[in-house]
Structure 1
């Protein structure tokens, strides 16, 4: 805002308070006017008065007006205290400490700026008398540990999705390797059976060809087994690394949860965040159980 340097939301809050203050001020001025009118109606009935009578009437009027003005000033002070109380309560809810500069309350330049702002906002009497519904104070945006925790939760969700995809890929590769191994073992058994049942032929060339075929099949089988073993070892190393990363993330999450419990104890935000962390720990435990299936046997 150009006049007071506030944003639009806070400008509206200031306008609502100024409208309230103008309404209260108008009522109090009417009360003061009524004091003078009562004096006119009740005492000014004669054409002439003595000095003592005039002094008595003015003294009485002074007492009444003094009491009205004093009451209004006291009420204004108490109203301002209630307004500050609302702001401080909201700040304390989010562990903030607000500060005020009392010397700025007597800054003539700022006071004139506020007066000009009031004139520009309440040009017509209709606008000044329009009542508006005062909204409740909106909560401040989350920050600090809560914001960091939300970012950590989002990061863990992404990490979980990546781990699930990787686990699915690993399971597919492992299943394919096992199927290939079973096929090769079945083929080898069939060849061994054929070799055992096969009668020695009279043609030496056929025997040599058969022996070469069996040797080639054995070589392919051994190479496939070696590749499967290497792949299994690589997968096991990846699983171990993933497990360590998960443990590290779990440790960081536990530290963040403890920090959050210290700062947000006995608050709704604390309970909500704790529920989220509990669900996240359960997901990590399920993932660890799935990963343990692929750890090497002792």
Structure 2
């Protein structure tokens, strides 16, 4: 696909879509083949047929095959619309306006290049894809509200970790100050025993300074602790709000899936398949009646 000017990422996207289209095409061909096989097994049970019987069988087969082909063409057109919708939606996020050239869709040279790619390069890429590990499916609307909520939760957790680290640092400083005060008090007692009252007065002033320093550190520690508690409460509230938003989005996605399933049951493809099954059941009942009439013992 290098002659089309695609980079590696876009080439992989094209390969994924061609793989999807090929699988859908293969399923539809198998369905058409099964229609012919079913006709052979259910209707071609006699040695001779009249012209009317042959015409009836061919008309029925034509209706079934026509319905299958029409359904596949409609589904392919709708699938292409959804693919174009994804591309346009991504472009509009960056304020771009994409344009399409319908005449290029019938360019024989480009169509032959695509066919050649599917026969050669696509097969080699298909083998590499089968050997590699399959990626997990991403949730619907991954780039929307759900991703923003995950990012916000991650940011809040990182901020909470930083606040906890700062709190531990302040606690270490406070403990160091207390230890220093204890050592100073012990040193003061030793100095009082060895030296005179003058030296004790100087040491008392130093101890008083240390006490003031410790008191200041305690005040800073209490203020930081209060601020950390308030920050943790805000973080917990934001986290709960984010979780509620995530649950609400998941519920909306579930409702959307149910709505899509309901719409699928109302599509023409579903109704055509149901009508086809009803006609086939009626044909089988008619064949059984004819068999009982000609061969009652069996």
Note whether the superposition's TM-score is higher than 0.5.
no
Give the TM-score normalised by the residue count of structure 1: 0.43
TM-score by length of 2: 0.43
